[in-house]
Amino acid sequence: MKIAVVTGASSGIGKEFVKQIAAGEQLDEIWVIARRVQLLNELKEEFDNVRPVPLDLLKDESRDTLCRMLEEEKPDIRILVNASGFGKFGSFLDMTRQEINSMLALNLNSLIDMCYDCLPYMSEGARIINMGSASCFQPLPYFNIYAAGKTAVLSFSRALNVELKPRKISVTSVCPGWVRTEFFDVAKKTKNSDAVTHFSPMYESADVVRKALKDSRKGKDISVLGFTVKIQKLGAKLFPASFAMKVWMKVK
């Protein structure tokens, strides 16, 4: 059974990945993972081959459940999309310990766990797509933990891509700028939510996902959409981090 596995599938970029994979890939099933059961069921109603897998990836028992499913069914995973995650705006000391730990656990640790658990069921030609962020290219004050986690996602993904070349499995880190999703509703629920207020340019999920799937098919280890983000990526190579942070502090 050939399948795709998509985390964070209930909304935003994850949901868009489900839609475009369903439209463009020949698969028996798409396993959609998220906490919100009703939204997963709505995807099932829209696409016949969608299989809701309601899990909270912050809980160990959810990982155990997924591992049992994989062991019992032994699917051929052709695409793994790690799109679960959230961010929080604000200064480091104004964040709670739970916000910090949960951000790192979902954005980074669960992504690594998903790769580890799914790779035994992936073969030649399979693709992993990990959601990074343009924030990974430089340190970002007042978006500190999120950017640090995404920097680790990029580093992990690019290194894993090299390790998996003998197996002919590709890993692509998707590094978009601001994307019009529910992300901001969560990110602003902090003690100093106005720490970041400039969100231009704003990209659409459909465009980000379309480019990500195209780059993944080509075996690229990074996917970047938009002139502004490409300049940001280049600038991070040409200028010291101190300069990048000064620019960020003026426009954030």
Q: Which residues in 101-130 are b (16+ Cβ under 10 Å) and which e?
A: eebbbbbbebbbbbbebbbebbeeebbbbb
pLDDT at position 207 over 90: yes
Mean pLDDT of 127-135: 97
Q: Quick: pLDDT tens for 69-119.
A: 999 999 999 999 999 999 999 999 999 999 999 999 999 999 999 999 999
| Paired sense of beta strands 222-223 and 170-174, if any | parallel
Q: Provide the pLDDT confidence category of residue 250 given band limits of 50, 70 and 90.
A: confident
Residue spans of the domains in the chain: they are: 2-251
Q: Quick: pLDDT tens for 158-203.
A: 999 999 999 999 999 999 999 999 888 888 888 777 778 888 899 9
What is 2-251's CATH number, 3.40.50.720, 3.40.140.10, 3.30.56.10, 3.10.640.10?
3.40.50.720
DSSP annotation string for 10-56: TSHHHHHHHHHHHHH---SEEEEEES-HHHHHHHHHH-TTEEEEE--
The DSSP 8-state label assigned to residue 136 in this structure reads G
Q: Quick: pLDDT tens for 1-32.
A: 999 999 999 999 999 999 999 999 999 999 99
Q: Provide the pLDDT confidence category of residue 33 given band limits of 50, 70 and 90.
A: very high
Structure tokens at 220: 């690229």
